[in-house]
Amino acid sequence: MADRIVSGMRPTGKLHFGHYLGVIQNWVELQYKYESFFFAADWHALTTKYDKTETLKNDVRDVIIDWLACGIDPKVSTIYVQSLVPEIAELNIYLGMITPQNWVERDPCLKDMAKILRTKEGAGSQINYGLMGYPVLMSADIMMFNSTYIPVGIDQVAHIEITRDIARRFNNIYKTDFFNEPKPLLNNCSLICGLDGNKMGKSFQNDIKISDTDEVTAKKVMTAITDRSRMRKDDPGHPDECEVAFKYWQIFAAQDEVQTVRCECEKGLRGCADCKRMLGKVINEKFAPIREKRKYYEEHPQEVDKIIKEGSEKAREEAQKVIKEVRNIIKMY
């Protein structure tokens, strides 16, 4: 069997530049190197949005449209929706039976998700049963396709340790070597801060979405934090102290253009407002093909639904092979 990767996203709405640079751009490259499974994690979304499901279907479609627009190819990768592969839930039950409680409680993934819930409901809120089981369900997602590698950023490596531990424990208990202990596949993607200099996020209202229009993008870029010490446009600037705008230049522009920006800024030949107007144009030019492709899929929702249906059916076929072997190993009736 070829080396496999599995990765997913919680469908919480249209994706932003942070998702593109930190995750999707990497997936696009990896899909041609590994047998790839990418899923919209709608069950995971319920752990914190169980009472806000009216937009869930549209959110799933929006996430997948963003993937397609950015270059995830359904002819190369398997694109599916988590809840359309019920075998994941069955595997989750079996893995839950062998996972010690303290493994779950100390898992950094659970702690991160608990923070999201408490931000939403208040510091004194209780963790629901589904959220408590999040690390095991995450492990079931990965082990369902016996993944070889998991693409992650350096800050997420600890999140997959519990999956490796559970896979090892399963193999030890049932005297088998069936499950791989998936290894992290580190990406070298650029990280991008939000317009205010903090982590980019929809809830912080500091993001630029992949789906934003040129006008909206240009307007948002004009709010980006620059060099706070610069008082007038002809004052010498300090690009390395420019908190957001120059960082965006370094991510989205060619190296020679970045050097021009640096030189003109340091000599006071380019004011911050003019700099951000030019930056908005550079960003819009870079994302023009992606946004054009996205518009096509928005106008052809039946094609997106077909991709989801066929991908989920393909994923389920693979999952059925794995769950059949798991049932045999455990000696289920």
For the residues of 129-189, what is the DSSP string, one character each?
A: HHHHTHHHHHHHHHHTTT-SEEEE-GGGGGGGHHHHHHHHHHHHHTT---S--PEEEE--P
Crossing angle of the two packed helices 301-330 and 87-98, in degrees rounded to 10: 40
Crossing angle of the two packed helices 255-266 and 272-299, in degrees rounded to 10: 150
pLDDT tens per residue, range 113-152: 777 767 666 656 778 899 899 999 999 999 999 999 999 8
4-9, strands of its sheet edge to edge: 78-81, 35-40, 4-9, 149-152, 183-186
Report pLDDT for 114: 77
152: which strand partners?
A: 186
pLDDT tens per residue, range 57-107: 999 999 999 999 999 999 999 999 999 999 999 999 999 999 999 999 888
CB 86 within 8 A of CB 136: no
Nearest to 227 by CA among 172, 289, 270, 278: 270
Report pLDDT for 159: 85
Phi-psi domain of 214 (left: phi exceeds 0; alpha: psi -120 through 50; beta: other): alpha
Residue 151 phi, psi (nearest 5): -70, 120
Report pLDDT for 120: 66
CA distances from 103 to 73, 111, 136, 183 (A): 36, 12, 10, 19
CB 304 within 8 A of CB 297: yes
Per residue of the chain (333 residues), what is the pLDDT tens digit?
A: 689 999 999 998 899 999 999 999 999 999 999 999 999 999 999 988 898 999 999 999 999 999 999 999 999 999 999 999 999 999 999 999 999 999 998 888 787 777 776 766 665 677 889 989 999 999 999 999 999 999 988 778 888 999 999 999 999 999 999 999 999 998 877 679 999 999 998 888 999 999 999 999 999 999 999 998 888 888 999 999 999 999 999 999 999 999 999 999 999 999 999 999 999 999 999 999 999 999 999 999 999 999 999 999 999 999 999 999 999 999 999
Query: For residues 202 and 210, what is the distance between their CA atoms, to the nearest angstrom?
Result: 12
